[in-house]
A and B are shown apart, each in its own frame.
Chain A
Amino acid sequence: MNKIKKITSYRLFLPLICLAIVLLINVIKTPAFFSVTVNNGVLYGYIIDIINRSSELIILAVGMTLVVASSGGTDISVGAVSAVAGAVSIYVLGGGEPSVDAYQVPYIVSILVALAVGTLCGMWNGFLVAKMKIQPMVATLILFTAGRGIAQLVCKGQILYMRVDQFKQLGGFIKGVPLPTPVFVAIIVVVITYIILKKTALGLYIESVGINPKASRLVGLNSTFIMFLTYAFCGLCAGIAGTIITSRVYSIDANNAGLNLELDAILAVALGGNSLGGGKFSLLGSVIGAVTIQALTTTLYAMKVSADQLPVYKAIVVIIIVALQSPEFKKMIKNLKRKQVA
């Protein structure tokens, strides 16, 4: 009995169960779900697809987790910021022409520019939230509204294409490697972030600022700067995601790149068992959350649900999961049990 309690009270228990349930449904519905085949030296299969497609989401969820932890708010601009970063990177790379066959500048420059743009957007959000003390959702609403407009301004309202094979590698496959590249990028981002948070006291600082910024300041932490840092980092993550998104479709469509990605990222954080009120966080939980969401999406596609109708099921699942995790619901269950005993 005690052992069961120990397992169920484990932080990642619920998120993992959710993921397991989603995968279990797949085993029953589509038995071929877990089969992985090799085509042209590259792995194929639903599972690979889930891991591949969830890469951007994982990267964004990492940034979002820290933002949520430090400020108790969400950054709703990440989707728009990744569109801006993608647009600027292709603009720099192709010199602003709508369809380009050759690089104008070295590839690495465009990546750096994209990351810089993302970080810059993050810094603006961080400035508003940490320094100006504006509620995170409102502060990031500004870039959420303006971001796509700016991206369109950069693209001059067109879809910019980049038809160079090397450009497709970041979102596709590198020759001779069986796994898609975005997976490696996601792993690198998660591992580096994890190491930084665990090996330095930064993770602890972020939690402390999220729980009580005033008290943290009194014990000598620079709350403002730490909060600012998380937003800048979230922007950087959005920039990285932006480069992957553009590389996947070797083009940038300012209207649709990273659309609704911010919502999925926030959901990933919530599904991972993190409180959206800030404070303690689990990076791993968010990663599991991100994979769960993508698994759900892929599952529904495999069950022939159309893309337009997908949100209905997503919404129902999300509400059930969040309701199960809410303390009030647990209290209700406890009261019910007590009544039964009495």
Chain B
Amino acid sequence: MFKNKREKIDGNTFLLVITIVLFCIMYLAGMIVFKDRGFIKLQVFLNLFISNAGLIVIATGMTMVLITGGIDISVGSVVAMTCMLLAWMMENKGIGAIPALITVLVVGVIFGFAQGWLISYLKIQPFIVTLAGMFFARGMTAIISTDMISIKNETFLALANAKVYLPFGGTVNKKGVLVQPYVYISVILALIVLVLIFIMLKYTKFGRAIYAVGGNEQSALLMGLNVKKTKILVYVLNGFLTAFGGILFCLNTCAGFVEQAKGFEMEAIAAAVIGGTLLTGGVGNVFGSLFGVLIKGTIETFITFQGTLSSWWTKITIAVLLAFFIILQSILAKAKEKNK
């Protein structure tokens, strides 16, 4: 019995547990330190999701790509391109919200397909391909428009401002009115995507193939899996998710401009790594990435609540956490090798 349990908690689950525990400790610490400033409110917790809905979806896609042993550093630029394209189509071309949304999703899929084809069929390193993709998408954003475009489309704004109130956890404000905590519709969409991808990775043939390809490409090939097809599908799906995440991001900002979402790719990768995804491939969990995103959000909330700290502390703290988790991963990997 005992032995069985020990086997179950292997290094990878251990990493996930550490991430979750760390998040809980950080959040509890925040509750104690900033108690009088309302950190304890449920709404503050929900705001973590509201401001990071897009990142959650993108980190999910990134996790999937990382599991195959690849990487996609173009996501930040693709998000910017998505936002800009949306804004440009709706404001400058007068296209309706629904056709515009569908168009950007199609563009995302095409982008993912192009990158996936170069990576899986021409066997160019993912880093180089997506690096070029990153340049390309950022440049395209500038070609569409170098000015900032604010979105005023009514359908889109209605979607952006659609609040969903939770039936519990309301607080009474200073005027004595009961305020129910709420989330925007983007959060619900993000969580649906997360759960769907989780189920796909865990229970479908395709999902298991992704892990197999990432674990050992040669073995997967010998097992009879179509490695190239699996890889290209992952990049296509990731392209779709990136565009989708871009839409959610846009619902938050309601604007398109060239410098948008810079460094997003590194945030997504950092979230995945903090969540226990190995960059060598084969290991990863989308829920870990969710907690990675939440940890990043919590640090940002700390800094806003604290008030005097400057924003670059976010970067430094994330980097320290990243270092911590990466070194932990490496120590665990070494221990595993010794046990063999």
Tell me the A residues contacting B by CB distance below 8 Å: 74, 128, 132-135, 137-139, 141-146, 148-150, 152-153, 157, 263, 266-267, 270, 276-277, 306, 308-316, 318-319, 322-323, 326-329
Q: A318-B132, A318-B135 are in contact. Are A276 and B125 (CB under 8 A)?
A: yes
| In-complex Cβ contact of A148 among B143, B258, B315, B322 (8 A) | B315
Instruction: Give the one of A138, A266, A310 with max B CB within 10 A.
Output: A138
Contact of B136 (CB < 8 Å), options: A144, A277, A311:
A311
Q: If A148-B315, A263-B131, A306-B146 touch, does A326 touch B122 (CB 8 Å cutoff)?
A: yes
Closest Cβ of chain A to B116, distance in Å, is 13
* Residue in contact with B330 in the complex, picked from A132, A157, A267, CB distance below 8 Å: A132
Check if B129 sits within 8 Å of A149, measured CB to CB: no
B14 interface residue per 8 A CB criterion: no
Q: Is the CB of B140 within 8 A of A312?
A: yes
Instruction: Determine whether the beta carbon of B316 is less than 8 Å from that of A153.
Output: yes
Give chain A residues whose Cβ lies under 8 Å from the Cβ of B123.
326-328
A-B contact pairs, 20 of them (CB 8 A): A128-B323, A134-B327, A141-B273, A142-B326, A144-B266, A145-B322, A149-B312, A308-B258, A309-B142, A311-B134, A311-B142, A312-B135, A312-B142, A315-B132, A316-B132, A319-B118, A319-B132, A323-B118, A326-B122, A328-B121
CB contacts (< 8 Å) of A316 on chain B: these are: 132, 136
A247 CA to B334 CA in the complex, in Å? 44
The reply to whether the CB of B192 lies closer than 8 angstroms to some CB of chain A is no
Choose one: B136, B279, B312, B334; the contact of A312 (CB below 8 Å).
Answer: B136
CB < 8 Å neighbour of B142 from A133, A134, A157, A308: A308
When the two chains form their complex, are residues A145 and B326 in contact, meaning their CB atoms are under 8 A apart? Answer: no
Q: Does B318 contact A (CB under 8 A)?
A: yes
Q: In the assembled complex, which residues on chain B have CB atoms less than 8 Å from the CB atom of A277?
A: 125
Cβ B316 vs Cβ A322 within 8 A: no
A sample of 4 more A-B contacts (CB under 8 A), given A133-B330, A316-B136, is A137-B279, A142-B323, A306-B146, A312-B142
- Asked whether A135 lies within 8 Å of B131 as measured between CB atoms, the reply is no
Mark each residue of chain B from 108 to 135: 1 if its CB lies under 8 Å from any CB of chain A, else 0: 0000000000100111110111011111
Nearest A residue to B125 by beta-carbon distance? Answer: A276
Contact of B131 with A308 in the complex, beta carbons under 8 Å: no
Q: Which residues of A contact B319 (CB under 8 A)?
A: 142-143, 145-146, 149
Q: Which B residues lie within 8 Å of A135 (CB)? A: 279-280
Provide the residues of chain B in CB contact with A267, threshold 8 Å. Answer: 128, 131
Query: In whole angstroms, how far apart are the Cα atoms of A263 and B266 in the complex?
Result: 14
B75 at the interface (CB under 8 A from A): no
Contact A138 B118 (CB under 8 A): no
User: How distant is the Cα of A319 from the Cα of B330 in the complex, in angstroms?
Assistant: 33
Q: Does B71 contact A (CB under 8 A)?
A: yes
Residue B11 interfacial (CB < 8 Å): no
- B270 surroundings in chain A (CB, below 8 A): 141, 145
Considering only CB atoms, which chain A residue lies closest to B138 in the complex? A311
User: What does DSSP make chain B's interface, helix, strand, loop or mixed?
Assistant: helix
- The answer to whether A157 touches B136 (Cβ under 8 A) is no
Instruction: Report A-chain residues with C-beta under 8 Å of the C-beta of B313.
Output: 149
Instruction: Please tell me if B215 contacts chain A, counting CB pairs below 8 Å.
Output: no
Q: Is there contact, CB below 8 Å, between B312 and A133?
A: no
Query: How many Å from the CB of B170 to the closest CB on chain A?
Result: 38
Q: Please state if B139 and A310 are interface contacts (CB–CB under 8 Å).
A: yes
Q: B331 to chain A: which residues have CB within 8 Å?
A: 132
Instruction: Answer yes or no: B204 CB below 8 A from chain A CBs.
Output: no
Given A128-B327, A149-B313, verify A266-B121 contact (CB < 8 Å).
no
> Quick check: is B106 within 8 A (CB to CB) of the other chain?
no
Q: Are A74 and B135 closer than 8 Å at their CB atoms? A: no
CB-CB under 8 A from B314, the residues of chain A are: 149
Task: Specify the chain A residue showing the minimal Cβ separation from B280.
Answer: A135
Within 8 A of A (CB), among B319-336: 319-320, 322-323, 326-327, 329-331, 333-334
> In the assembled complex, which residues on chain A have CB atoms less than 8 Å from the CB atom of B138?
311
Instruction: Please give, as numbers and ranges, the residues of chain A lying within 8 Å of B322 by CB-CB distance.
Output: 141-142, 145
Question: Taking the complex as formed, is B173 at the interface, i.e. its CB lies under 8 A from any CB of chain A?
Answer: no
Are B266's CB and A133's CB within 8 A?
A: no
With both beta carbons as reference points, the residue of chain A lying nearest to B320 in the complex is identified as A146
Q: Is B251 part of the binding interface, using a Cβ–Cβ cutoff of 8 Å?
A: no
- Contacting pair A315 B139 (CB below 8 A): yes
- Chain B residues near A263 (CB, 8 Å)? 131, 134-135
Contacts of B213 in A (CB 8 A): none
Residues of B contacting A276 with CB < 8 Å? 125, 127-128
Judge whether B139 and A137 touch: CB under 8 Å. Answer: no
Whether a CB of chain A sits under 8 angstroms from the CB of B53 is no
Question: Contacts A134-B327, A153-B316; is A326 near B124 (CB within 8 Å)?
Answer: yes
Cβ-defined contact, A138 with B127, below 8 A: no
Give the complex CA separation of A78 and B200 in angstroms: 38
CB distance A137 to B71 under 8 Å? yes
A277 vs B124: C-alpha distance in the bound complex, in angstroms? 10
A194 to B129, CA, bound (A): 30
- Within the complex, the shortest CB–CB distance from A86 to chain B, in Å, comes to 16
Per-residue CB proximity of B50-94 to A under 8 Å, as 1/0? Answer: 000000000000000000000100000000000000000000000
Shortest CB distance B320–A (Å)? 7
CA distance in complex: A296, B124 (Å) = 22
The 4 closest A-B CB pairs, nearest first, are: A312-B139, A146-B319, A308-B142, A311-B135
The residue in chain B whose Cβ has the minimal distance to the Cβ of A276 is B125
Contact A323 B316 (CB under 8 A): no
Q: Does B310 contact A (CB under 8 A)?
A: yes
Interface flags for B138-175 (1: CB within 8 Å of A; 0: not) read: 11111100100000000000000000000000000000
The docked-state distance in angstroms from the alpha carbon of A315 to that of B77 is 13
- Residues of A within 8 Å of B141, CB to CB, are 308
Q: Given the complex, which residues of B lie within 8 Å of A128, measured CB to CB?
A: 323, 326-327
Measured in the bound complex, the distance between the Cα atoms of B122 and A143 in whole Å is 31
